[in-house]
């Protein structure tokens, strides 16, 4: 009788035979735990390029689940039903953990019984890092779960197909009292190409699914705010990608489905503690009030992050004026976020501000933007969510006076965050 595996790896694929075979080669070579106690489950989404046959002949030890139709990345949910491991790791068909990362992941789970999901740092081929736009939301191509926690909250929802399924699952885990943490010592390589996020299908599901997440989980006041902000954000992204039609379809579908799902999922509304974990309203307000008490009256925001609402609300409550949002990706003539001009970052830094605030809670992206600003301006730069910088922010009662930067950056990276 075969021993029960400690770790179950699950990935889904569709018509990417050679890429999937290479991932399996790397995984069996050095990606698993040192104990060797693991299994691999591959869900084949009705591939027509011989993927299933090649896996069956080259890797007979893999549990292969052939599907009759393409269920997208959320087909991993089917693999969970077959997984026997104490810990379950989601990969993409082109992602693989660094040697030793799975052993360290197990150590994290064993040290913290409330850890439900351990996110990996995701490395792209060009040296950038991929990171979620909200803190405590994992990236789906590299994350480990305590199997008990994953099954307790219902696992992946296949209705999402692709895009934002990580938000849906992270929200449920956190709302149920489990911790979702991205660990600095866990690493995964992801070979995805930049164009993968620019297709019409991606734009449609990005828009539709983010609106569904908002409808399912956010209390009324926050739902109204995020529905407005996220619809605007994905509309601007779609215009930049030349995918306006896909955005409109996703927006209409998301709003219509959201009406029914808001009622159906009323019991899933986020608790106040979960809202703070994900959005950091109280934390950012405390820090913004600290700036105000130190004499800061006017700031520029750097980045139109997905969670920029948190920073905007904090500035309003602290009595700090926001002169502009500097973001080259979103800048456009007459474009405004809640009345604040969205302009090129260099132009924002030339305004008569007392300080620049990195208005992004994505740790990787915040850290990269902070490093850029520290080279480009003499303004004090306040970064509260970079991996290296957040821990270095002083307490509010000892904030430095205007003109003294309060952070340093040890590592530069960029994020592909949505």
pLDDT of the residue at 2: 58
Per-residue pLDDT of the chain (418 residues; tens, 9 = 90+): 457 899 999 999 999 999 999 999 999 998 999 887 999 999 999 999 999 999 999 999 999 999 989 999 999 999 999 999 999 999 999 999 999 999 999 999 999 999 999 999 999 999 999 999 998 999 999 999 999 999 999 999 999 999 999 999 999 999 999 999 999 999 999 997 544 446 999 999 999 999 999 999 999 999 999 999 999 999 999 999 999 999 999 999 999 999 999 999 999 999 999 999 999 999 999 999 999 999 999 999 999 999 999 999 999 999 999 999 999 999 999 999 999 999 999 999 999 999 999 999 999 999 999 999 999 999 999 999 986 544 344 443 333 333 333 332 223 333 334 5
Task: At 367, list the tokens.
Answer: 């850290």
145, 210, 91, 126 alpha-carbon torsion, rounded to 10°: -130
pLDDT of the residue at 417: 46
pTM of the model: 0.90
Burial 199-226 (b: 16+ CB within 10 A, else e): ebebbbbbbbbbbbbbbbbbeeebbebb
11 φ/ψ angles, rounded to the nearest 5 degrees? -145, 155
Count of CB atoms within 10 A of residue 188's CB? 23
- Residue ranges and CATH numbers for the domains of the chain are 7-192 (3.90.550.10), 196-274 (no CATH), 280-398 (3.40.1010.20)
Residue 365: partners with Cβ closer than 8 Å, 6 or more residues away: 131, 133, 303, 305, 414, 415, 417
- What is the per-residue DSSP string for 276-329? HHHH-HHHHHHHHHHHHHTT--EEEEE---TTHHHHHHHHHHHT-EEEEEE-TT
CA gap 347, 332 in Å, rounded: 12
Secondary structure element (H or E) that encloses residue 24, with its range: helix 17-26
Task: At 240, list the tokens.
Answer: 């930049």
Whether the Cβ atoms of residue 268 and residue 175 lie closer than 8 Å to each other: yes
């Amino acid at each position: 009788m075969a021993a029960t595996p400690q770790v179950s790896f699950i990935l889904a694929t569709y018509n990417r035979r050679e890429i999937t075979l290479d991932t399996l080669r790397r995984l069996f070579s050095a990606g698993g735990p040192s104990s060797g106690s693991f299994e691999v489950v591959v869900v084949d989404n009705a591939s027509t390029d011989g993927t299933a046959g090649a896996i069956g002949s080259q890797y007979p030890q893999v549990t292969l689940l052939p599907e009759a139709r393409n269920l997208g990345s959320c087909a991993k949910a089917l693999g969970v039903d077959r997984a026997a491991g104490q810990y379950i790791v989601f990969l993409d068909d082109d992602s693989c953990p660094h040697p030793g990362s799975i052993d360290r992941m197990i150590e994290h789970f064993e040290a913290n019984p409330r850890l439900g999901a351990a996110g990996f740092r995701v490395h792209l081929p060009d040296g950038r890092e991929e990171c979620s736009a909200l803190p405590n939301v994992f990236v789906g191509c590299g994350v480990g779960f305590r199997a008990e926690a994953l099954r307790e909250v219902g696992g992946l929802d296949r209705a999402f197909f692709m895009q934002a399924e990580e938000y849906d699952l992270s929200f449920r885990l956190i709302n149920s009292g489990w911790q979702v943490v991205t660990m600095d010592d866990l690493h995964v390589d992801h070979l995805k190409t930049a164009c993968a996020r620019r297709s019409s299908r991606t734009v449609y599901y990005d828009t539709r699914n983010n609106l569904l997440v908002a409808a399912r989980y956010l209390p009324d006041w926050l739902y109204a705010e995020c529905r407005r902000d996220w619809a605007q954000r994905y509309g601007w992204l779609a215009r930049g990608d030349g995918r306006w039609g896909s955005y409109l379809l996703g927006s209409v579908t998301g709003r219509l489905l959201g009406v029914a799902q808001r009622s159906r999922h009323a019991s899933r509304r986020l608790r106040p503690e979960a809202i703070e974990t994900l959005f950091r309203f109280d934390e950012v307000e405390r820090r913004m009030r600290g700036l105000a008490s130190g004499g800061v009256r006017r700031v520029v925001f750097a980045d139109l992050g997905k969670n920029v609402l948190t920073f905007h609300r904090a500035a309003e409550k602290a009595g700090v004026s926001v002169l502009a949002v500097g973001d080259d990706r979103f800048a456009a003539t007459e474009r405004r976020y809640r009345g604040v001009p969205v302009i090129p970052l260099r132009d924002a830094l030339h305004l008569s501000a007392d300080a620049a605030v990195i208005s992004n809670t994505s740790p990787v992206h915040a850290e990269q933007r902070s490093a850029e600003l520290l080279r480009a301006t003499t303004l004090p730069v306040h970064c509260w969510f970079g991996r290296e910088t957040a821990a270095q922010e002083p307490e509010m009662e000892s904030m430095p006076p205007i003109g003294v930067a309060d952070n340093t950056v040890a590592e530069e990276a960029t994020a592909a965050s949505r």
